[in-house]
Chains A and B, each alone.
Chain A
Amino acid sequence: MSKAKDVEVTFEDQQRINTFGKLNLRFHELEAEMRHKKTLLDDLEDASNELMLTDEEQVRYVVGECFYYANAEEATERIEAATAEAQTEMDRLKQELQQTTGKMAELKQVLYGKFGDSINLEED
């Protein structure tokens, strides 16, 4: 295995490794959440485009398990509100992802600096 020449793992190192593990977990959660949000945003955009093209004055808007007859104006408003909400969420997720990868890079530098080849922080 590794030829760690007496590099002792200190409690602080262990803390760093643990933090890295948790960040990596969060990283994957964030990615999954962002995929979901992206789909939602795409769907909302499609809906909004369709609404712009249609001549119908009434459209059916999904609420719960039902479709409710909304006039086009109301539907547009609802979609805009939903888009704004999803976009805010998306921005928050993006920001957190950036912070997470930043912190991971910092920890990588410290840990590789100390342990070199004796530690592997990459995904398979």
Chain B
Amino acid sequence: MAESSTDQQVIPAAQFIDNVEDFLAGRPADAVIEELNGSYRLYKAAEQRLVQHRTRLLGKLPEIRKALTAVHLLVAKRDEEVEVLFDFQLSDQVYAKAVVKDVQTVNLWLGANVMLEYPLDEAVVLLMENLKQCEQNLETAKRDIATIKDFVTTTEVSMARIYNYDVQKRKGSRAKDS
């Protein structure tokens, strides 16, 4: 359940172009735009990866919360020393009744086909820890997405500026010719 943040790849930052003419330095506009387009695709791919990662984390969050509520209920009923009746799913379409009393431990699904038995209080601690971890990872993902979004926007603007600069220049030289 606990997993560290993204597969961090180093992505070169998008540079803001101060002056289009200086930036081009005599190179043809299409070639430079094509070059920028390459980084643009790179950024877009990275953005997509990060968004997917975030979606996965967002899906995990309610799962952990659900497990936590269930364990909290068991803890509460243990402390009240009452027995509780449950309907639990035996298989698809089939539910059976279960009387739950004097529960001391709970089995937590850890993923990768592993289930481990924990004393109730330890299970709460573990789940809380997982919840915190998941929220932290979400924060990181959010920051990463914001950064890459800046790169994407900057590159989009740069390409448009070079394009416009080129159009203006061509117009200028055509005006001179005629």
Contacts and interface: CB of A to CB of B under 8 A. Distances in A.
Interface of A: 1-2, 4, 9, 11, 14, 17-18, 21-22, 25, 60, 63-69
Contacts of B84: 68-69
Nearest to B152: A21
Chain B contact residues: helix, strand, loop or mixed: helix
A2 B168 CA distance: 10
A60 B87 contact: yes
Contacts of A60: 87
A66 B153 contact: no
Chain A contact residues: helix, strand, loop or mixed: mixed
B157 A17 contact: yes
16 contacts: A2-B164, A14-B16, A14-B154, A17-B157, A18-B154, A21-B150, A22-B149, A64-B66, A64-B69, A64-B70, A67-B87, A68-B86, A69-B84, A69-B85, A69-B86, A69-B87
A11 B164 CA distance: 17
4 closest residue pairs by CB, A with B? A64-B70, A69-B85, A67-B87, A21-B153
Interface string B93-105: 0010000000000
Contacts, number: 56
Interface of B: 16, 18, 66-67, 69-70, 73, 84-89, 95, 145-146, 149-150, 152-154, 157, 161, 163-164, 167
B161 A68 contact: no
B73 A68 contact: yes
Nearest to B161: A9
Contacts of B154: 14, 18
B88 A66 contact: yes
B88 A65 contact: yes
Given A18-B149, A21-B149, A1 B167 contact: yes
